[in-house]
Amino acid sequence: MVGAETQDKGDIGMSSTTPTNVNEGTIFIKFKLKEKRPVKMSTDEMIDMIRQKFPKLKNSKFIVLDMSSQMTGGEQGDIEVKIYGDNLKKLNELSKMLADTMRNTEGLTDVDISIRPGTPEMRIIVDKDKCARLGLTAAQVGNAINTYTLGTFAGRYTDNDKQIDITIKLPKKYRDSMSKILTLPIITKTGASVPLSQVAHIADTVGPTEIQREGQKRKISITATVAKGYNLQKVAARLKKKLNEIYNSALWETGYTYDIGGQYSQMKDLFKWMLIAALVALLLVYMVMASQFESFLHPFVIMFTQPLAVIGVFWALLITGKTLSLPSLMGLVILIGIVVNNGIVLVDFINQLRRREGMPEYEAIVKAGTIRLRPVLITALTTIFGMLPMALSTSQGSEMRAPMAIAIIGGLTTATFLTLLVIPVIYSIFERASVKAKRNAKKLLGLEPNE
């Protein structure tokens, strides 16, 4: 198992990747800062290179994990499938089946099951019926075995202000084999002594290394990483389709459920909240413009700049090879308050020409587009050129900053040029529709004669 992080200083703390068995090991690789690397490679590219460099060994596997998400409180793995149920044996069977399905899903790598194979153990099983016939309880038998083997605290001995714990247990020669332990005496209530073998037997079993719970239910997690060049959303959708087929088939056990989590689940929640933020921003922008224009129509016309910006955002992300992530969504929300500026400048000047100079609609639109072209371009270009250093940056943390800047540049570019063409057309359509609606209303009210 290999854990990678990108901090330049500081120690790496303990995490869930700490090996729990003697046949496991963890190698932590600390990357240098991006500007100090001799080869300009991203963290994902270096992790992919490390994964390919490991040799193929029989009956072994290497799992490469990015520790940054775990150390910042994120969930482990790009995709995490959680299986819930009561029986550990059934959970193990289902987890192995789903793990094989995930390994056969295109775009997924480093598939790992959270529960490790159990360790061999010898368990003393008490027969409650035999104990009851002798007037014993399972707890009494357990306490006796605990005293014989591990010892029982009996008090403290003080020697020159130094306290020493006193523990009572049998000498090692009486408890160095299971056959000797079975001959140990158990005292009944009547004072009689019976060997342990009369009320218990020993069984060879395999015990679980740990039992995971979530929501008061037993759980096993299967984590996987999305391979380089694959989209998390598309891979997750492909996997979800396969898991639904298994869940609805006869292979799935009744009473057991599964859930898809990990970074995929977090991204879904982020997308939901960013969508809510965008809707609230749209509403607030419209309300502010409606109060300033003292009209519901003209702010509605200006709001058509928003889809024009979305076109540019997706084209910019496509050209630069970026994905729709949280930073790019933040850029999209920021655009909501920026792209309306050009529409406000244009529509407000058209209204001024029509009100103050009595200019016809068509002439006012043409003149406003000519006169306001320069301030519209200056306003947009200052923002675009101001965002260029952030978009072109390759320094540490540029992976988070660049998508936001690219989204703003792309959205503002298309919105600026399309606003000069689309908004005047929409303005003209709505104005004519408004005039026609007012005329029809007057006719219905009898305030204007019918032609």
CB atoms within 10 A of CB 46: 16
Q: Which residue intervals of the chain bear CATH 1.20.1640.10?
A: 266-445
The CATH 3.30.2090.10 domain(s) of the chain lie at 119-207
Reference 258, options 91, 75, 81, 80; nearest CA is: 81
What's the CA gap between 283 and 398, in Å, rounded? 32
pLDDT value for 16: 47
Q: How far apart are CA 122 and CA 133, in angstroms?
A: 26
For residue 283, the model assigns a pLDDT of 92
Q: Where are the alpha helices (DSSP H) in 294-372?
A: 297-302, 305-320, 326-338, 340-356, 361-371
Q: Say if residues 78 and 16 touch (Cβ distance below 8 Å).
A: no
CATH number given to 119-207: 3.30.2090.10
Quote the CA–CA distance of 282 and 365 in Å, as a whole number.
Answer: 25
Predicted model pTM:
0.59
Homologous superfamily, domain 266-445:
Multidrug efflux transporter AcrB transmembrane domain (1.20.1640.10)
Neighbours of 242 (CB within 10 A): 14
Distances from the Cα of 198 to the Cα of 149, 325, 372, 440, angstroms: 18, 66, 100, 102
Largest pairwise CA distance in the chain:
120
The pLDDT, as a whole number, for residue 431 is 82
Task: Split the chain (451 residues) into runs of 10 and give each run's mean pLDDT.
Answer: 44 46 72 70 72 73 63 59 86 88 86 75 85 86 85 82 84 82 84 86 74 80 81 84 88 85 76 87 90 85 88 89 81 87 86 84 86 87 88 74 89 88 86 76 64 53
Question: What pLDDT, on the 0 to 100 scale, is given for residue 409?
Answer: 92
Please give the pLDDT value at position 67.
61
- pLDDT at residue 301 in the model: 87
